[in-house]
Structure 1
Amino acid sequence: MDIIKVDAIDSTNAFLRELNRQKQFDGPVCVMAKEQLAGKGQMGTVWQSEPGKNLTCSVFMQVKGIELVEQFFISIAVSLAVCDALNDLLITKLSIKWPNDILSDRKKICGILIENVVKNGSLNGAIIGIGINVNQLEFDNLPQAGSLKKILGKDLEIEEVLDVLLTKLEQRFTQLTTSSFAMLKKEYERLLFRRNKPSTFLDAEGNSFVGIIQSVNNEGKLQVLLEDEIVTPFDLKEISLLY
């Protein structure tokens, strides 16, 4: 895989998106930044990262044979690839907080932001932004944030973490075929944070309610069993899971 390394950049996703617009990538490309000045998470949240302490990268991966309505399987494959990489790095108690925050023992150690590349109405690729907290120990006003160093008690080489991650990404993307969707979804659901446990959620208006996560559907909506015994699907704008 081609890897581009930069010192400081506003957003690795934006950089890679513009580069793809100019060059039309025909294979995987990664851009890795020591410092990201305007990194974003899901729903426009800001990713907090000390320069040089964490892995901040974006990867372009080609996508073929997947319909737009099946795009959540890209998120599933990426989430599983990150978990695969963290497993290899001896990180335990991993879970996926829907849709794709990666936790270790309830602490968030990785955020993922995926922008799909659509050409002529078909999925052509995905720009995958990944931030892994590697050697950072302090996180201002983020009590749920963790890092690999906090877990393992030692510094890690960030490029070693990247190498493992890219290997696992390429492996998981080979599984992105319709015949493997059921297997991928089963693996993803097995790792879902708070699955089959009563949990508190907030709706779009800020009202709290209790439900039990059952699964995700093929569109990526969270299937939640509510108090009236009805399973209701929610998308990312409709619901947030409280810790």
Structure 2
Amino acid sequence: MKLIKLDAIDSTNDFLKALSSQEELDNFTVVTAENQTKGKGQMGAKWESESGKNLIMSILVKDFLYDNEQVFNMSVIVSLAVIETLKSLDIPGLSIKWPNDIMSDNKKIGGILIENTIKSDGRIVSVIGLGLNVNQINFGHLQQASSLKVICNVEFDKDSLSFLIIEKIKEKIEFWETNSALFWKEYFNSLFRRGIPTPFKNLYNQNFMGIIKGVSSVGKIQILLEDDSVSEFDIKQIQMLY
């Protein structure tokens, strides 16, 4: 595993994607940064992080995905890898807010952004961006954010965390072929507010109530509506209100 440590960068995902386009990188090449000035979340949302306090990293994964219909498998793997690592550290109330925010009770402690590139030979190369709030304690106006230190009142080692998460990702990729159904079941069972009546907002700013029933193989959330029908939505079509 090649590790590139940076003091500051606009985006570890952008850095790793650019590097990958210039040279053939080893599988599981990792980029970490103490500070990220233009961190990204889903749909272009900004990821804010206090310098030196949190885990900011991107991981290159290749030779796993071969079909666009399979890309959400990577979200399942990475989300579960983070959840299992944090469970081993006794972080309470862990869940995955679809598609791949990491929650502790009702507080967001991490976010994952996976960007896939199709190479000229048809291979799919994934850059997995992970931001995890580790030792930051002040989140200003972000009322729904928290960190491992706030939750446990303990300082955590970011380097050890990154190593544990990467090893879990490797392990799940290695065993995916024989355990994919089990991993998907674990992902379903870990969904934030699964089975609980929850307010949502659609593209037209209309609020509605629904119950999360699961996630499709291509990553669309499946919601039971008030008329007893089940509809599927992608990340651009719906927002959970909680």
The reply to whether TM is greater than 0.5 is yes
Residue 141 of structure 1 corresponds to 141
Mapping 1:100-111, distance limit 5 Å: 100-111=100-111
- Work out the CA distance in 2 between the residues paired with 1:101 and 1:217: 17
Cα deviations across residues 33-86 of structure 1 (Å, max 9, x unaligned)? Answer: 000011111111111111000000100011335411111111111100111111
Residue 53 of structure 1 corresponds to 53
Cα pair 1:116 1:123 within 8 Å, conserved: no
Residue 17 of structure 2 corresponds to 17
Unpaired segments of 5 or more residues in structure 2?
Answer: none
Pairing 1:205–2:204 present: yes
Cα pair 1:48 1:139 within 8 Å, conserved: no
Mapping 1:103-182, distance limit 5 Å: 103-120=103-120, 122-177=122-177, 179-182=178-181
Change in Cα spacing, 1:23 to 1:235, as seen in structure 2 (3 Å) is same
SS of residue matched to 2:103: strand
Change in Cα spacing, 1:194 to 1:123, as seen in structure 2 (3 Å) is farther
Q: Which moved more, 1:156-165 or 1:112-121?
A: 112-121
TM-score scaled by structure 2? Answer: 0.96
Query: What do you get for the CA RMSD once the two structures are aligned?
Result: 1.3
Following superposition, the deviation at residue 9 of structure 1 comes to 0.5
For 1:36, the aligned partner's letter is Q
% of aligned pairs identical?
A: 45
Residue 68 of structure 1 corresponds to 68
Residue 5 of structure 1 corresponds to 5
- Work out the CA distance in 2 between the residues paired with 1:240 and 1:167: 32
Residue 43 of structure 2 corresponds to 43
For 2:210, the aligned partner's letter is G
- Work out the CA distance in 2 between the residues paired with 1:163 and 1:71: 23
Residue 187 of structure 2 corresponds to 188
TM-score scaled by structure 1? Answer: 0.96
Cα pair 2:32 2:57 within 8 Å, conserved: yes
SS of residue matched to 1:122: coil
Residue 34 of structure 1 corresponds to 34
Cα pair 1:110 1:132 within 8 Å, conserved: yes
Cα deviations across residues 93-125 of structure 1 (Å, max 9, x unaligned)? Answer: 100000000001111011000001212373432
- Work out the CA distance in 2 between the residues paired with 1:136 and 1:231: 40
